[in-house]
Chains A and B, each alone.
Chain A
Amino acid sequence: MSDQTKIPPKRSFVQTLEIDMRLLGMIAAFIIVAVAFNILTGGRFLTPRNIFNLTIQTASVGIMATGMVFVIVTRHIDLSVGAILAACSALMAMTQVRWLPEFLEIGHWAIPWIAIMVGVALGALIGAFNGWLIGYQGIPAFIVTLGGFLIWRNVGWYQTAGQTIGPLDQTFMTFGGINGTLGGPLSWALGLAAIAFVLFAIFKSRHTKATHGFPVKPMWAELTIAGIAVAAIAGFIGVLTNYAVPERVVARDPSRYGCDVAEGCNAVYGLPISVLLLIGIAAVMTVIARRTRFGRYIFATGGNPDAAELSGINTRMLTVKIFALMGALCAIAAVVASARLANHSNDLGTLDELRVIAAAVIGGTALSGGIGTIYGAILGALIMQSLQSGMAMVGVDAPLQNIVVGAVLVFAVFIDIQYRKRVGAK
């Protein structure tokens, strides 16, 4: 056998750390973009305020991009996510603004939660229907969701008679970003909890590997990874808790920002709830992808649909589940997107399908199937959003902005394909 004679090659620094090279590349790209814009804008890009805005602008597309990874990994596509988002947003807005207030008083605690449940149910239902058409009826996903792209936004239009529906419920709007933040102490508490969890996970995994007798990384490599993770979390929370709430905003509603008096209170925004939601969804989706049978079957089906079928996997039902999950995520993204704007308008999420697909693809998800990561898709969304708002801040002409984003999309996939050719992966 050929591998009999092979001596283990000398491992480089990065190889010893066992970091995904692609992840490293994306982080490098993101840093380059951020630093470049920071220089071009004279230091305005990397301020707590702008980073805060970037994260809340990324949340909606990021949430949908995690679902798009599963769709694309199984060799499908979903062109209808922006339209589903609009339909769910319309239903949720109508539920909380027009229908429920007929039975419950305005501001009743149950209103936002009923609205969200109804919206998520609609999203999952539309997605499941798409999945059924694709999996059981054999209609290509491109066609089914192209139809959905035309259908669902306009179903929303009929619901609302084309009107903008608002203002949305106060609690509902806390999912939008600036209207719902955790403040300093709570943000730090969550940050510390995240750090504790990451450290626990790293050393638990090392311990399990050792008990099975597998080779483990050297201790210094483990500590380096842990150090980077801790620094990243602490840095992120540190930046967000440095964004001070303007005094006049505090003065309007001091108790909301933990102040006793309106004057002279130094409040900070901290972690937005929408970003916390994105992080939570990313964590859950990563666990699904890596640690559940459902996730394993998604990747197996993407790698070789016939093999999956012959292994006893019900690939049709799998398709229904994947699209239902995508639909539910569209509904959650709809909560974030409409809450951010404080009302539902019919053009909400227009062109989001392209942003979501681009985010997943820039994040290393291969359209040929079988390959993709959740964190990659979110980084992809972040890179896209950074480019767009960075160019807007610099004052690049609108047509040129789109030209650059389009070029970056194609270039990112080009680099990814070249990289895969070099390492010999599929």
Chain B
Amino acid sequence: MAPLVEMKNVSIAFGGVQAVDNVSISLNPGEVVGLLGHNGAGKSTLIKMLSGAYKMDSGEIWINGKKVQINSPRDARDNAIETIYQTLALADNLDAASNLFLGRELTNAMGFVDDDRMEAETRKIMARLNPNFKKLKEPVSALSGGQRQSVAIARAVYFNAKILIMDEPTAALGVHETAMVAELIQELKKQGLGIFLISHDTREMMELCDRVAVMKNGQMVGAERVEDVTEDDILSMIILGKNPKAAA
């Protein structure tokens, strides 16, 4: 069976700086792949080419064994790729429902935005993700970090994503909310989603991921199954940019 996602020999440069240099990576259904590396290693840039925020200079993206073109966030969505950004990408002045459906509003027969139906759908999915979520009428700027995170996650989950990209999903969260995200990742995994996870926290990644891929200076150092490596191995990959497994 073909992998869910295959990025082959992908490169992008910004004004002479090779941010991502000939990187290949794959993701299978029901698998969580963690991307690790220092700031500026190219993790976020790599993933933004998959989510359509950046357009790659060269390389190919294959989804379910088919080659696809991703030139915009809309293309990514059409391929059932959803992204939860580090900065959450919420419009602070709008309420939760408007944010959840932003760019994909439900409309009525006359083509008008159907706020009531969107609110009803938001209530439904929030009851599942975060039962404490009650502030449906207020702009999301009035919400706590955890509540904002649940809006961002709801947005990704609601539209039946097959491929989920989570860029530092727990960076702004407390202990309780971090646990909630971990639980959710397990649940989505069971449903057969493929998840790319970006984080700085090596220990958290060892717990959540099936495989971890380490990047340094825009290049892929290596991707290993978590049961095959120790946390120290990962750290040395991040710091030294060498894969001890490959060397052995």
Contacts and interface: CB of A to CB of B under 8 A. Distances in A.
A418 interface: no
Given A306-B89, A310-B53, A425-B141, A296 B102 contact: yes
B103 A311 contact: yes
B93 A426 contact: yes
A293 interface: yes
Given A304-B90, A311-B89, A311-B102, A3 B139 contact: no
A212 B93 CA distance: 24
Contacts of B117: 212
Contacts of A16: none
A303 B132 contact: no
A98 interface: no
A370 B51 CA distance: 25
B91 interface: yes
A2 interface: yes
A9 interface: no
Contacts of A213: 120
Interface string B84-95: 010111111110
Interface stretch (B37-45, B60-68, B70-78, B181-189): B70-78
A297 B98 CA distance: 10
Contacts of A370: 91-93
Interface in A308-332: 308-313
Given A2-B144, A292-B112, A299 B91 contact: yes
B190 to A, nearest CB: 25
B146 interface: yes
Contacts, number: 101
Nearest to B107: A293
Contacts of B210: none
Contacts of A2: 144
A209 B116 contact: yes
A2 B148 CA distance: 13
A370 B87 CA distance: 18
A1 B73 CA distance: 32
Interface residues of B, number: 42
Contacts of B176: 1
Given A303-B91, A306-B87, A313 B139 contact: no
B235 interface: no
A51 B144 CA distance: 48
A312 B120 contact: no
A293 B90 contact: no
B116 A425 contact: no
Nearest to A18: B137
Nearest to B146: A1
B161 to A, nearest CB: 14
B119 interface: yes
A307 B89 CA distance: 4
Contacts of B13: none
B116 A214 contact: yes
A291 B113 contact: yes
Contact of B135 (A3, A293, A309): A3
Nearest to A307: B89
Contact of B73 (A214, A290, A311): A311
Contact of A426 (B99, B139, B147): B139
A136 B60 CA distance: 28
B168 interface: no
A208 B132 contact: no
A303 B132 CA distance: 25
Interface string B106-118: 0100011101110
B134 interface: yes
Nearest to B75: A312
B74 A293 contact: no
Nearest to B78: A312
Given A304-B91, A370-B93, A425-B139, A310 B116 contact: no
A371 interface: yes
Given A304-B90, A313-B102, A425-B142, 19 more contacts: A1-B146, A1-B176, A214-B120, A291-B113, A292-B112, A296-B94, A300-B98, A304-B92, A307-B88, A310-B51, A310-B53, A310-B85, A312-B74, A370-B91, A370-B92, A370-B93, A424-B142, A425-B141, A426-B92
Interface of B: 51, 53, 72-74, 77, 83, 85, 87-94, 98-99, 102-105, 107, 111-113, 115-117, 119-120, 130, 132, 134-135, 139, 141-142, 144, 146-147, 176
